[in-house]
Structure 1
């Protein structure tokens, strides 16, 4: 079997091989190369959009193009730093794996995922007003009975002869997922499939695949697919599995799923390619050009979400000119950047020191009449705060508080916290606590303010208040609690809190919680505890990346100790050093010889 693969290459320059057909297969002719800086990439790819230095080649087969990943020994430090998802657009891996009945929301600055009718991240906020306010009667029933099994509630619903419609079930599912009540959503989907009150569709099975992946992991989701009747094992089910692999940052499993879809001859829509782009934006951005070229060969046009990914990838690479060119190309295709995309642009302009461009974009986002579009406040408030524009934050909040929504209020708390206006942040928090029943996510925003401003006592009081209100402490709140203690210099206490949470509630912490603690141990040169945290990350089921070994090696360097078995450990974890890390690793190589040892030998 001949495989198509993404080779180990550098940069965004695409070396597109001439393809010749020989005896039913295609072979690569290295005598002809096409530089991407001159390449007219169909009707939609900007000629030099992903041009850098170096080259990449692609090999094709007639039957299929499969993907395989081998860690690149020459990948840059910037790429390695992205793997845990710390960009303006991204959320950490496995954020979605919350425990039963946990309804923490995704962290601020989440990466909008393009999902299969499971979310509305691609809908302009102004168009969501009706949908956001809509709640099904079934959702109200489930939400008002948090301790009762959904199966019991739904059986009673049917016994009482109440109407059961596909629309109400779908809306209930949307509401449950939006609140991150994944276990309840899973119970509802299980009831729908098992009770046969409604005609079961492939989408019902796809929904279960997604929820199983979130709650029980990808392996269980795959096992469920094996049990699905063949008539329901369609494109939607596998697209859902692919999206789940990407959401959990599982590169190997995502590529296997993509290849499976190729084998099954499912159509490769822009949704499928966007999943790959998301994956490689995090793990190996030089492969983005390869994916785009393959999209062109498959005659798949980019969606607005495709452009959004490319914009963020260029911004992360600090190529602002390239990012602006993508925006121009996007507009030339008749696609206007939405509010989320503009927010990403603002963030990258700010990071690049282009504050004037950032402010101009914010004014464009605001438009002519903020009073009529006050929902924009949730985006504008934290962005202006990032620029240190206290007057603008105050002005926008004055408009929003005339008719506040909870999203606007949370954005105001975040913004005032960034500006170190703690009294103002607390005033907004007290206001929403009187108007709404607060969730863990709501408390988490205020807790983050205290953590970032090293206000340990107030943070502890807020946690007690949160527990008294009946809110559960989930992964996001736990992460804020960990960082609250780290900011106060209480690293051991943060470590203890993390371990207690795991023991008491079988909670799976976010990987960034582990990394935050590991970094503090490494700064101290505490090799023992750094290695212990690395082991805990493995136990939690996370894939070990180069970033974790970078931290561990720094612990050895700070402790001035040799690391004898670290290369073997990296090999076992399928982690390969890049050039910068190889130089770092040499400093702790216990078997390295120096001029003095040569003389003594």
Structure 2
């Protein structure tokens, strides 16, 4: 699982490196970057945007639409009708901001809206971005068709790269390998990016030896590795338990000389050492990380240090880096606080978490439920149900909206304390917060909830929970078996449940067969 998680993050990082989705260093960028912060307070009707908010700037109008609920095109059309100008760079900023906050459907809509507007013709980079969005919204097949229909001049390094990235993200190994051959034949494998993509795929599939093979290909082809290449190379050696190999990569990196101030490489190295239990080496790598971090302003760098020191159990260092962080970045963000709170939880410093949370509230940032969720989770892990409930009530009064993760944590907490009714209620609330395919409870947790109905033969309760699980695509052999057992416990025939199982094309197992013989 750790490898797969790394793979997803790595793919995102690779794509951002060439097709950045964030906005940096401009007034437009800072304006559109507020899309996520404001997007939760959405309008339910496009007319609200077009009429009631007539004086709002464009970025706020789009923000009010919410994530996937309303169309962006009418807002853009209305903006032009009002006599406003809209430059191509501004439209690109809108697309970038929407992508940054995973509002892919709306980003694609804006991209396609550009087709019918004079002066907003797509450039070569725009084709790559649209291909990526099509893959995310409509699927790989649609992305392949889009690529096929592109004019030849648009089939360049970026569009090939976008298609390869989509194959890698969906772990389509044969297609990715085949496309990589075409990229090489077309002369577009001039930099590390496509190799990095393939390395990410192989590592996600648990094939680190193929990463090392690709490194040799790069050397033969005279392709210079970049920072990401070195990191995934190190991690692949670590996957093979080859710490000597990791250190040889570090030697090559130092000899390379292009990454003297890249803190992320040493942070990555310290993580490898921590995992291998090489504490002294991890501490030395972190010292090198700190030296490079304090030479530049980088939020992620400081947060990486905080997390690494917490993994080493070094509380004084965690607080020391946080204080330096606060001096360098007086205006901290919600994610900054989440990082610090998470580190303090790992250290078992609950008093520190409580104090830090008060500091966050004092800063007056938007009330993002993910921040108090950290302490709520810590309370529930320790069995402090009352404190968790009290904090949730406090958060709601402050405007915080519990998400599925909030209620999922309460399910765990209630189950541990045998508060069955509360656990069932929390599971229902968690499931109400998500759409089909967005999230599923852990299989064991879902079965634990169904078992509560099973032991008492509560068919109505079990059927209600089963229907809720179906809405998030969490119906399988085990959940059906539980429903069958509930019917048997209640003295009812389970034959009707088995018929539904067949209609859902759920394969029975030995347990199913045994139950149906009762």
Gap change, CA 1:461 and 1:224, over 3 Å in 2: farther
Matched with 2:216 is 293
The residue aligned with 2:16 is: 115
The 8 Å contact of residues 303 and 336 in structure 2, kept in 1 or not, is answered as: yes
RMSD: 4.7
- Alignment-derived partner of residue 395 in structure 1: 320
Q: Matched residues in 2 for 1:291 and 1:420: separation?
A: 42
Structure 2 equivalent of residue 482 of structure 1? 408
Is 1:418 aligned to 2:346, yes or no? yes
Distance of 1:519 and 1:330 partners within structure 2: 49
Using the TM superposition, give the Cα deviation of residue 184 of structure 1 relative to its aligned residue in structure 2, in angstroms.
3.4
Aligned-pair CA distance for 1:388: 1.0
Determine if the alignment matches structure 1 residue 405 to structure 2 residue 332: yes
1:448-463 matches, within 5 Å, as 448-450=377-379, 453=382, 455-459=384-388
Other-structure match for 1:84: 4
1:299-338 matched pairs, under 5 angstroms: 299-336=222-259, 338=262
Aligned to 2:63: 143
Q: Distance in 2 between matches of 1:453 and 1:220?
A: 48
Which shows bigger deviation, 163-172 or 257-266? 257-266
Q: TM-score if structure 1 supplies the norm length?
A: 0.59
Question: Could you tell me how far apart the structure 1 residues matched to 2:226 and 2:295 are?
Answer: 31
Deviations 1:445-466 (A, max 9, x none): 5555446555555555666666
The structure-2 alpha-carbon separation of the partners of 1:443 and 1:174, relative to structure 1 and needing over 3 Å to count, comes to farther
Distance 2:401 2:145 in 1: 30
What TM-score comes out, normalization by structure 2 length?
0.67
Tell me, yes or no, if structure 1 residue 341 matches structure 2 residue 268.
no
Q: Distance in 2 between matches of 1:154 and 1:374?
A: 35
Counterparts of 1:536-555 in structure 2, within 5 Å, are none
What is the distance in 2 between the residues matched to 1:231 and 1:371? Answer: 42
Counterpart among 2, 5, 30 of residue 134 in structure 1: 30
Structure 2: gaps of 5 or more residues: 33-56, 455-461, 477-510, 512-518
Report how far residue 193 of structure 1 moved.
3.5
Match of 1:362?
286
The one of the two structures with greater contact order (alpha-carbon pairs below 8 A, sep at least 6) is: 1
Distance 1:219 1:177, change over 3 A: same
Q: What residue ranges of structure 1 are gaps of 5+ in the alignment?
A: 1-80, 94-105, 545-587, 589-601
- 1:508 and 2:437 matched: yes
Cα distance between partner residues in 2 of 1:303 and 1:183: 32
**Residue 274 of structure 1: how far off its partner (Å):** 0.8
CA contact (8 A) 1:138 1:169 kept: no
Q: Which segment drifts farther, 276-285 or 224-233?
A: 224-233
SS state of the match for residue 300, structure 1? coil
Matched residue SS, 1:84: helix
Distance 1:113 1:222 in 2: 20
What secondary structure, in the 3-state scheme, does the structure 1 residue paired with 2:13 have?
coil
Distance 1:281 1:344 in 2: 15
1:157 aligns with 2:79: yes
Q: Which residue of 1 is the match for residue 44 of structure 2?
A: none
User: Which residue in 1 is equivalent to 2:303?
Assistant: 378
| Alpha-carbon spacing, 1:135–1:390, altered in 2? closer, same or farther (3 Å) | same
Preserved contact between residue 388 and residue 419 of structure 1 (Cα < 8 Å): yes
Alpha-carbon deviation of 1:199? 0.9
Deviations 1:388-422 (A, max 9, x none): 11111222223333424214323211111112222
On the 8 A contact 2:192/2:223 being kept in 1, the answer is yes
In structure 2, C-alpha distance between the alignment counterparts of 1:119 and 1:452, rounded to whole Å: 38
CA displacement, residues 447-486 of structure 1 (integer Å, 9 cap, x when unaligned): 554465555555556666667777777xxx5356435533
In the alignment, which residue of structure 2 is the partner of 1:10? none
Residues 116 and 240 of structure 1 are in contact (CA less than 8 Å); yes or no, is this contact kept in structure 2? no
When residues 148 and 312 of structure 1 are mapped into structure 2, their CA distance, relative to the original with a 3 A threshold, is same
Give the match for residue 259 of structure 1. 178
- Shift of the 368–233 alpha-carbon distance from structure 1 to 2, 3 Å rule, reads closer
Which SS does the other structure have where 2:18 is aligned? coil
Q: Deviations over 1:251-271 (max 9, x none)?
A: 3x2431441453474323421
Counterpart-to-counterpart distance in 1, 2:296 and 2:153? 49
Measure the CA separation in 2 of the matches of 1:540 and 1:254.
26
Q: What is the aligned partner in structure 1 of residue 88 from structure 2?
A: 166
Question: What is the CA–CA distance in structure 2 between the aligned matches of 1:304 and 1:275, rounded to whole Å?
Answer: 13
Asked whether the equivalents of residues 164 and 179 of structure 2 are also in contact (C-alpha less than 8 Å), the reply is no
Q: Distance in 2 between matches of 1:384 and 1:132?
A: 36
- Separation in 2, partners of 1:468, 1:186: 36
| Partner Cα separation in structure 1 for residue 372 and residue 142 of structure 2 | 32
- Contact map agreement 2:11 2:200 (CA 8 A) in 1: no
Q: Does 2:356 correspond to 1:437? A: no
Residues 364 and 295 (structure 1 numbering): CA distance in 2 closer, same or farther, change over 3 Å? closer
CA–CA distance in structure 2, aligned partners of residues 495 and 226 of structure 1: 50
TM-fit CA distance, 1:243: 1.2
TM-superposed deviation, 1:309: 0.9
* 1:182-218 CA-partner distances (Å, limit 9, x unpaired): 3432332232234455012343232233223334443
* Alpha-carbon spacing, 1:222–1:118, altered in 2? closer, same or farther (3 Å): same
d(CA) in 2 for partners of 1:494 and 1:291? 49
Output one character per residue of 1:411-448: Cα deviation in whole Å (capped at 9) or x when no partner: 21111111222232233334334521144554555555
Given that 1:138 and 1:172 are in contact with CA atoms closer than 8 Å, whether structure 2 keeps it comes out as no
Say which SS state the counterpart of residue 275 (structure 1) adopts: helix
Could you tell me how far apart the structure 1 residues matched to 2:448 and 2:245 are?
A: 36
What are the superposed Cα offsets for residues 120-145 of structure 1, whole Å, 9 maximum, x if unpaired?
Answer: 79x9xxxx677997335754442255
1:120 and 1:298 map into 2 onto residues whose CA distance is 30
Q: Distance in 1 between matches of 2:284 and 2:255?
A: 21
